[in-house]
Amino acid sequence: MSRIAGLFARKRPVFIGFTVAGDPGIRESFGVMVTMIDAGVDLLEIAVPYSDPVADGPVIERAHVRALRAGTTPDDVFSLVRQVREYAPDLPVVLFTYHNIVYRRGVDRFFAEAAAAGADGVLIVDLPAEESGEVAPSALRHGVDRIVLIAPTTSPERQRAILQGASGFVYLISLEGVTGERDRLSPGIAGLVGAVREKTDLPLAVGFGVSRPEHARAVAAAGADGVIVGSALVRIIEEHPGDEAGICEALHAAIRAMRDALAPDPGPDMLRRERVEG
């Protein structure tokens, strides 16, 4: 059983935290990831910095800029994944990327390197289902789950086409538009979860706009298996320039609040039992 499958087999809401590799610097970025892990993220989603992150709102876009200015390359990203894998051997890790990065590196090479570094899944956010023919076999060959996106505007027919190549879990976009914090969530989340649930046995995780503990609780109540939080966490890095201790303290508090909103802290003994049973 893969680490992602084992995580969702625990049958409790999963908290997925997002960060951009190399933000605010390559060395500091690993500290951010360690803090997120220690605070209780169940799965770490790591973005490969990109110059034109069209799916991302301004907060995450600025994080990409900071990471690129720090000189972060795909090689650095894989190095960070290896460090995370050494620090947290059981933690699922998913790479969030744009297709140009994968294409420029070579599709099979990218997936081979991702697998060798210890990544469990890859989400190529701007790759249409019709153009995924080269990606799917490489993901399968190297044992990497191919995470797919489904939006509120995705038709039932297109949902089925997208799901044909999916593994690991399905990323459901909670709203129209780019990533970013919102005051309130879309009232249609439960309907989207229910519609996609009819078409797949894969776990469903909801992201985009989830930024508060009450949002996380509402997403879980809507029937989602996981909650994805990005901009609300990335903003903390932006708000504490040059203050590593402040970043870590604020990140830890924000993640604990989100995590506790989903379910009571299971504690280390329960987590150990879950890993053994999974």
Question: Per residue in 234-264, pLDDT tens?
Answer: 999 999 999 999 999 999 999 999 999 987 5
- Angle of the 58-69 helix axis to the 231-239 helix axis, nearest 10: 50
Residue 237 — φ and ψ, nearest 5°?
-65, -45
Q: Residue 16 carries which DSSP code?
A: E
Q: Residue 263 carries which DSSP code?
A: S
Catalytic residues: 45, 56
Other Cβ atoms less than 10 A from the Cβ of 12: the count is 16
Taking alpha carbons only, the member of 276, 240, 188 closest to residue 32 is 240
The answer to whether residue 267 scores a pLDDT higher than 60 is no
User: How many Cα atoms sit within 13 Å of 201 on the Cβ side?
Assistant: 2
Other Cβ atoms less than 10 A from the Cβ of 165: the count is 15
Reported residue count of the chain is 278
Question: Please, what CATH class does the domain formed by 3-277 belong to?
Answer: alpha beta
For the chain, domain boundaries = 3-277
130 Cβ partners below 8 Å, 6+ apart?
none
Angle at 233 between CA 232 and CA 237, to 5 degrees: 115
Q: What is the pTM of this model?
A: 0.91
Taking only Cα atoms into account, the Rg of the chain, rounded to an integer number of angstroms, comes to: 17
Taking residues 149-173, what's their average pLDDT? 94
pLDDT band at 54 (very low <50, low <70, confident <90, very high): confident
Which secondary-structure segment (H or E) carries 153?
none
Instruction: Confirm if 109 and 135 have CB atoms less than 8 A apart.
Output: no
Taking residues 43-58, what's their average pLDDT? 93
Per-residue pLDDT at 176? 52
